[in-house]
Amino acid sequence: MMRRRPPWAPPRMLAVAWVLGALGPSASVPARASAQRVVVFDMDGPGAVRARAALLRVLGDHDVDVVPQADAHASCSGAGTTAGARTLACVAAALQLDGFITGAARLEGGQATLEVQLLGAAGARVASAAFAARRPSDLRRVVRNSAWAQLGAAIAQLHGAAGRPTGDERQADGSVSHAPSAAHPHSDDPASHITLRPSSRRTRHGDPRVDAADYYVSVGLAMRRLRFTDDLFDALGAYDLGVAAAVGAGGTYYPLRGLVASRLAHLGVEWTLSRALVDDTRNQADTHFATSAWSWHAGLRYEAPVGARVLAFGGVGVGRERFRIEPAGPTRPNGPVESGVPSVRYTFLRLSAGLRVRVVGGLSVGAHAAWRPAIDLGALGDDDWFPRARGNGLEVGGLVGYRVHPIVELRVLVEHRRYVADLRPQPGDPRVAGGSVDTFLNVSLATVVALPSAL
């Protein structure tokens, strides 16, 4: 049976609608959008940069509004570079944020771990999550697969500065904690280590320990001076290469850095190559002799951090330094004109050690020394010169570097190399001298491209 609607029903419905409307938007729809607004701060450590990028993608996939970190730094006038709970509360109020996310990665116990903290709008810790992988490069995959499962529920419960006029913050488990204030300070402020200002891709761009590889090219000047001692018959010519242009290249590479947590991560390879741009030598008779000069070395290198600013390193390898002066050609019936100065080809082992110190910001200085026991002396040890000669070399060098860009450094390099040979002549030898001292000096300006390990 159908019942007739009372004639006063429409006016009653209109009255109810009028009452609901009078209550304002708070009784019908929320004043803010349902999407949570957070800032994700830069994260340090091996693999952290890519893991953070994966986290940003996860948040975007779940409609979380990620506010740029640069906006956080600019939002509160007078806010310093380093944040604290009070500063974060100011930022949250200015940007209508619900919370903040911070984290750091480390290598320990044979695995990489990224620890992430979710902070409320007042800077108090709401939740935390840990992501572990065998290699730092795998952290982004782990974050992509499990970040929302670990943090999603806590992020959804954030309600931010607009919905919390009392300054209290509800934790993920339902409990309430007070925002830091003069009356209720937090003894452990989880926001105290946060840097508001966005860092460059390399957060410690002056620290030489964070590079997985660096490669350089250089231009500069080269000099050489050869002298013989105890030349009884004054028959051996000295040699001076005043100043010549020189070019060079080199690099170091640590293949396991950022991949393993053991000390093997500090083991790498190094190489250098240099050439003096000299092609002609003249004697006192103005005879021209074709000349070439180059050197190289390659080997293993191991780095060991000593404190926060000092890096010690050592290496073992092999190399060769050659200075060749060709005969002038068959200008006389019995053969070419000799220069009177032997060509040298020092083939050596190289045992090195050094230090690199970060002074301030991107400025660093370094020094090294290397012993070069000679395996072969080239023509200097031939039968025509000194067949029983034995020699050793010593190398010392220094640098001043300045990081002008997160991955670019300018360096001034100085290197001094000296080879001392005991010629050990005997009666009947074609030439008689007690020894030789061969000195090389290079001063150059290098441009270095450094590749960080935490990509």
> Would the pLDDT of 138 be above 60?
yes
> Would the pLDDT of 335 be above 50?
yes
Q: Give pLDDT, residue 198.
A: 57
Q: Are 322 and 292 in contact (CB under 8 A)?
A: yes
| Residue pointed to by tokens 């996939």 | 61
DSSP per residue, 64-98: -EEEPHHHHHHHSTT--SB--HHHHHHHHHHHT--
pTM score, two decimals? 0.59
Q: Give pLDDT, residue 453.
A: 61
pLDDT, tens digit (0-9, with 9 covering 90-100), for 392-417: 999 999 999 999 988 899 999 999 99
What domains can you pick out in the chain, each with its CATH number?
33-178 (3.40.50.10070), 208-328+338-452 (2.40.128.90)
Specify the 3-state DSSP secondary structure of 261: coil
End-to-end CA, the chain: 76
Choice between 191 and 62, residue whose per-residue pLDDT is larger:
62
> Would the pLDDT of 168 be above 50?
no
| Residue pointed to by tokens 């190094």 | 270
pLDDT, tens digit (0-9, with 9 covering 90-100), for 228-258: 888 777 777 788 888 999 999 999 999 887 6
Three-state SS string over 158-197 comes to CCCCCCCCCCEEECCCCCEEECCCCCCCCCCCCCCCCECC
Phi, psi of 426 (to 5 degrees): -135, 160
86 pLDDT tier (thresholds 50, 70, 90): confident
List % helix, strand, coil for the chain (3-state, nearest 5).
20, 45, 35
311-325 average pLDDT score: 94
Q: Give pLDDT, residue 178.
A: 39
Least confident residue range of 12-16, 255-259, 307-311, 444-448: 12-16
81 pLDDT tier (thresholds 50, 70, 90): low
> Would the pLDDT of 66 be above 60?
yes
pLDDT, tens digit (0-9, with 9 covering 90-100), for 139-166: 989 999 999 999 999 999 887 654 443 3
Q: Are 345 and 320 in contact (CB under 8 A)?
A: yes
Q: Give pLDDT, residue 454.
A: 47
> Would the pLDDT of 192 be above 70?
no
> Would the pLDDT of 171 be above 50?
no
Q: Give pLDDT, residue 394.
A: 97
> Would the pLDDT of 376 be above 80?
yes
Q: Give pLDDT, residue 245.
A: 95
Q: Give pLDDT, residue 166.
A: 39
46-52 average pLDDT score: 85
Question: CA-CA distance, 427 to 419, in Å (whole number)?
Answer: 25
16 pLDDT tier (thresholds 50, 70, 90): very low
Q: Are 116 and 48 in contact (CB under 8 A)?
A: no
67-82 average pLDDT score: 68
Which residues are within 8 A (CB) of 182 and not within 5 positions of it... i.e. 6 or more apart?
Answer: none
Q: Give pLDDT, residue 330.
A: 55
Q: Give pLDDT, residue 338.
A: 64
Pairing of strands 168-170, 435-452: unpaired
> Would the pLDDT of 357 be above 60?
yes
Q: Give pLDDT, residue 92.
A: 86
| Residue pointed to by tokens 């935490």 | 454
75-84, 323-332, 386-395, range with greatest mean pLDDT? 386-395
pLDDT, tens digit (0-9, with 9 covering 90-100), for 108-131: 777 889 999 999 988 889 999 999
173-198 average pLDDT score: 47
b/e sequence 360-392, b meaning 16+ C-beta within 10 Å: eebebebebebebebeebbebbeeebbeebebb
Burial class (CB in 10 A: 0-12, 13-18, 19+), 234: exposed
195 pLDDT tier (thresholds 50, 70, 90): low
Question: CA-CA distance, 244 to 432, in Å (whole number)?
Answer: 31
Which residues are within 8 A (CB) of 242 and not within 5 positions of it... i.e. 6 or more apart?
Answer: 223
